[in-house]
């Protein structure tokens, strides 16, 4: 990976900080977020790696990662971060950057009948909120 001064100073960091209300440079990479994350097994980048890449302005690396779509917004990392960063807000800001381009990440029509029959309504509403533009 090649990192230049322009990368580190780019507007993407500012955009994400504004959307999330979190300061990415506060993170000192202790890794507690990744250690406690219940969904980490499915992630291609660890939660702390997302922040590190964000600190280094690696927009493309982050936005193509599956991790931001795997976060379940359970706020475990928020409860454990020694620097008080709410990583769930950073994850949502990163998703929003892509969602606001008008692309959906789930298709409700693809859910099985059994799931639609049994799943509580808020599960469907919540996943539509998180995954559709």
Partner 1 sequence: MRVTYYPGCTLYTKAKNLGELAKASAKILGIEMKELENWTCCQAAFPLVSDNIMGLVSPSRIIINAEKEGDKLTTLCSFCYNVLKRTNNVLKNDVEKRTKICEFLEEDYKGNIEVLHFLEIIRNDIGFERLKKKVKKSLEGLNVAPYYGCQILRPASVLKLDDPENPRILHDFLASLGCEVVDFPFKVECCGSYQILNEEVKDVALGCSYNILNSAIKNGADAIALTCPVCYFNLDKKQKEIAQKFGDFKHIPILYFTELLGLALKVDKKLFDFEKHFIDPRPLLIEKGLIENNVVKRKEEV
Binding site for partner 1 (CB under 8 A): 18-21, 38-39, 41-42, 66, 69-70, 72-76, 78-80, 86, 88-89, 91-93, 96, 106, 110-111, 115, 118-127, 129-131
Of 103 and 129, the one with the shorter C-beta distance to partner 1 is 129
How far the first Cα of the chain sits from its last, in Å, is 31
Of 8 and 123, the one with the shorter C-beta distance to partner 1 is 123
Of 49 and 88, the one with the shorter C-beta distance to partner 1 is 88
**Cα separation values, 104 from 55, 70, 78, Å:** 27, 15, 26
- Which residue in the block uniquely carries the two structure tokens 């469907």? 124
C-alpha 5/C-alpha 131 separation (Å) is 33
Of 10 and 132, the one with the shorter C-beta distance to partner 1 is 132
C-alpha 46/C-alpha 68 separation (Å) is 10
Find out whether 54 and 24 touch, Cβ atoms under 8 Å: yes
């Amino acid at each position: 990976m090649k990192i230049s001064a322009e990368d580190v100073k780019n507007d993407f960091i500012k955009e994400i900080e504004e959307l999330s209300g979190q300061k990415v440079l506060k993170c000192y990479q202790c890794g507690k977020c990744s250690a406690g994350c219940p969904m980490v097994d499915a992630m291609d980048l660890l939660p702390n790696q997302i922040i590190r890449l964000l600190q280094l302005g690696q927009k493309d690396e982050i936005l193509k990662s599956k991790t931001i779509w795997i976060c379940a917004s359970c706020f475990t990392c928020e409860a454990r971060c020694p620097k008080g960063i709410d990583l769930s807000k950073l994850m949502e800001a990163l998703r929003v950057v892509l969602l606001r381009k008008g692309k959906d990440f789930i298709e409700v029509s693809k859910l099985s009948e059994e799931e639609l029959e049994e799943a509580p309504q808020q599960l469907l509403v919540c996943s539509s909120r998180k995954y559709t533009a």
